[in-house]
Amino acid sequence: MKDSQANRNPQAESKKTTIPPYMKAISGSFGGIVEACCLQPIDVIKTRLQLDRMGNYKGIVHCGATVSSTEGVRALWKGLTPFATHLTLKYALRMGSNAMLQSAFKDSDTGTLSNKARFLSGFGAGVLEALVIVTPFEVVKIRLQQQRGLSRELLKYKGPIHCAHTIIREEGLFGLWAGAAPTVMRNGTNQAAMFTAKNAFDVVLWKKHEGDGKVLQPWQSMISGFLAGTAGPVCTGPFDVVKTRLMAQSRDGGEVKYKGMAHAIRTIYAEEGLRALWKGLLPRLMRIPPGQAIMWAVADQIIGLYERRYFHSAAL
């Protein structure tokens, strides 16, 4: 009996133990809430560094200390409402759409998923989240984060809703989709790499296959998620910088500095040098891998409990 259990192929069982996309979406949304509350200050620092053309901030620590001393500690959580909402909806859409695409790409006979299909599913999920959720939410978040001070009377944007309304009034509806092209490239590449790497690390490190009923310990999920989240920021740094610059510029004063993704890359390179295209990389590495670690620690517990309840007795 033990031999038959030991020799069973988790991949072969995955066809009959597929986790519903809605469960993936729920697990991602809960992970997003926890991640947003923990890591918002790092995101604020990253945005300030990327928008710093005059060299006012000397690094991550100096930027955080300067914001805290001049604007108050609460300023490090500027934009938390749109950020938390954005992450919750983004992860729900990302995890749910990725699960649906994986189901569509699975081999109809064996129920297995190739690495190419997994990569394409992740890319598709990243593109979808970029267009539907990420771009408009990040436009609002970045506009709020770049404002200096805490006095509402002196700020152009009084809050997330007022910010969105003002952008639409002054720049049109498509103002909320400023920087959509680099966002699509960034998110598509990020999620393709992340889903492929997360699955690979789970299998290699913990012998965990989806649908096998094994519930990873939170620390195991955090290690896999952290490692899976490291490659994307390095590869997509220029897209993230360009996205931030395009989203931050307001059109209410007439001409804008950057005409589009390609023009922004050329302009930043010409005026600030090649390294400027990777501005904010360190805070991204401080936020994204830990963020993925937190998100997967929560999501894997929810998914694992679902597997254990409906598919198997967990192999702990």
The arithmetic mean of pLDDT across residues 232-243, rounded, is 88
Alpha-carbon gap, residue 157 to 176, rounded angstroms: 14
Stretch among 6-10, 242-246, 294-298, 306-310 having the lowest mean pLDDT:
6-10
Q: Are 217 and 307 in contact (CB under 8 A)?
A: no
Alpha-carbon gap, residue 73 to 150, rounded angstroms: 10
Cα distances (Å, whole numbers) of residue 264 to 31, 94, 232, 243, 270: 33, 28, 21, 9, 10
The arithmetic mean of pLDDT across residues 261-273, rounded, is 92
CB atoms within 10 A of CB 258: 19
Name the pTM for this structure.
0.75
Alpha-carbon gap, residue 257 to 86, rounded angstroms: 27
The arithmetic mean of pLDDT across residues 35-57, rounded, is 85
**Amino acid sitting at position 185:** M
- The stretches of the chain forming alpha helices (DSSP H) are 2-6, 10-13, 21-51, 60-71, 80-105, 115-129, 135-145, 160-171, 180-206, 218-228, 231-235, 237-248, 261-272, 281-310
Stretch among 52-66, 242-256, 286-300 having the lowest mean pLDDT:
242-256
